[in-house]
Amino acid sequence: MYKIRKAEKLAENIFLMDVEAPRIAKSCEPGQFLIVKMDEKGERIPLTICDYHREDGTVTIVFQIVGASTKKMAELQAGDSFRDVIGPLGQASEFIHEPAAELKEKKYLFVAGGVGTAPVYPQVKWMKENGIDVDVIVGAKNKDLLILEDEMRAVAGNLYVTTDDGSYERKGMVTEVIKDLVQNEGKHYDQVVAIGPMIMMKFVCLLTRELGLPTIVSLNPIMVDGTGMCGACRVTVGDQVKFACVDGPEFDGHLVNFDEAMKRQTIYKTQEGRAMLKLQE
Ligand code: FES
């Protein structure tokens, strides 16, 4: 059993939990994810690791209610437990393997959209801990849906916040901020990392290709086993078929077939709808 030490609502339908999982906390790296199971027959829910405390033996997860299982999960409180927490899964972000001297020469821009701010956070924190200042753009639909702002401000070199409706900081999409930084402020980036809704990553990649900025994205397709066996998380990257759970979740964004990935994400919509209705009965 994996005890929940803290459970907190961050925004409407977005929750944060600190979970006791010492083995994962000890070995996980930025970019990786885990899978939780609430009970023996429960659905396996893949979640990005938002933070980890090696000494404390805890990992922080952030999730959004997207269906019946995550709705049930949001009801768990501190003191409750998960039946299983499996991980760390997937490949760590590539930059952690780069020689420090080379990494310090590079200029990174992180672009986070919505709940995608959670997986971006440990990457930016890692950079800060390794003496590298990076620029970060965080985009949210509105002020109420903006998460982890203080945490991000503490680790980012420069933080640019934007909301779609202009209810907080600047108004507009993250792509407009990228354009502004590069074209108006004359900033140069060697590497962009974009994590958020599939549609956001698609448009960031269309823009960064035009601007000639290499871009890594982190994909969150439907996953079942998380070990490369079931094929549920299949994505096309360049002319190759990849499994996001073992080959990713991070890929070269300029090679990802986003249209196909978005289509595959809708496969379970009907079943999810039925499960939600059942929960409300
Ligand atoms: Fe089954 Fe990736 S989740 S192959």
* Domain range list for the chain: 2-89, 102-208, 219-281
pLDDT by residue (tens digit) across 21-32?
999 999 999 999
CA of 246 to the centre of ligand 1 (A): 8
* Ligand 1 binding pocket mutation candidate from 32, 45, 245 (most atoms within 8 A of CB): 245
Ligand 1 atom nearest to 229, measured from its CA: 4
Distance 274 CA to ligand 1 centre (A): 23
Q: Report the 10 Å Cβ neighbour count for 8.
A: 12
Compute the distance from residue 197 Cα to the ligand 1 centre, in Å: 19
Sequence-separated (6 or more) residues with CB below 8 Å from residue 271: none
Ligand 1 centre distance from Cα of residue 170 (Å): 38
Q: Which parts of 180-253 fold into alpha helices (H)?
A: 198-211, 244-247
Residue 101: other Cβ atoms inside 10 A:
7
Closest atom of ligand 1 relative to the 230 alpha carbon: 1
Beta partners for 242? 235
Q: How far is the CA of 146 from the centre of ligand 1 (A)?
A: 30
pLDDT confidence of residue 220: 86
Query: Residues 202, 29, 117, 157: is their CA dihedral positive or negative?
Result: negative
**Which ligand 1 atom lies nearest to the CA of residue 246?**
2
Main-chain dihedrals φ then ψ at residue 263, nearest 5 degrees: -65, -45
CATH T-level assignment (fold) for domain 102-208: Rossmann fold (3.40.50)
By alpha-carbon position, which residue is closest to atom 1 of ligand 1? 230
pLDDT digits (tens, 9 = 90+) for 138-194: 999 999 999 999 999 999 999 999 999 999 999 999 999 999 999 999 999 999 999
Q: Give the number of C-alpha atoms closer than 13 A to the C-alpha of residue 241, restricted to the C-beta side.
A: 5
The conformation of residue 126, written as its DSSP 8-state character, comes to H
Closest residue CA from atom 4 of ligand 1: 228
What is the reported pLDDT for 47? 92
- Residue 80, token pair as written in the block: 């409750």
CA–centroid distance, 50 to ligand 1, in Å, is 21
Q: Name every protein residue with a CB atom under 6 angstroms from any ligand 1 atom.
A: 223-226, 228-233, 243, 245
pLDDT on residue 274: 57
Residues 6+ apart with CB under 8 A from 167: 142, 143, 144
Nearest atom in ligand 1 to the alpha carbon of residue 231 is 4
Which band of pLDDT confidence, cut at 50, 70 and 90, is reported for residue 273?
Answer: low
Contact of 112 with 120, CB cutoff 8 Å: yes
Q: Is pLDDT above 70 for 281?
A: no
Q: What does the pLDDT average to over 40-66?
A: 93
Mean pLDDT of 86-106: 94
Q: Which residues pair with 20 in a beta bridge?
A: 58
Instruction: Give strand ranges (E) for the chain.
Output: 2-11, 14-20, 33-37, 45-53, 58-64, 81-82, 84-89, 108-113, 135-140, 158-163, 170-171, 191-195, 215-218, 234-237, 240-243, 250-252
Tell me whether strands 81-82 and 58-64 are parallel, antiparallel or unpaired: unpaired
CATH number of 2-89, picked from 2.40.30.10, 3.40.50.1000, 3.30.460.10, 1.10.260.40: 2.40.30.10
pTM: 0.93
Interval between CA 134 and ligand 1 midpoint (Å): 32
Give the C-alpha separation, 102 to 263, whole Å.
38
The residue among 9, 148, 144, 1 whose CA lies nearest residue 73 is: 9
| Best probe residue, ligand 1, of 243, 264, 265 (max atoms within 8 Å of C-beta) | 243
User: Phi first, then psi: what are they for 108, rounded to 5°?
Assistant: -105, 140
Return the best residue to mutate from 86, 227, 264, 267 for the ligand 1 pocket (most ligand atoms within 8 A of CB): 227
| Position 41 confidence tier, pLDDT thresholds 50, 70, 90 | confident
User: How does residue 67 score in pLDDT terms, banded at 50, 70 and 90?
Assistant: confident
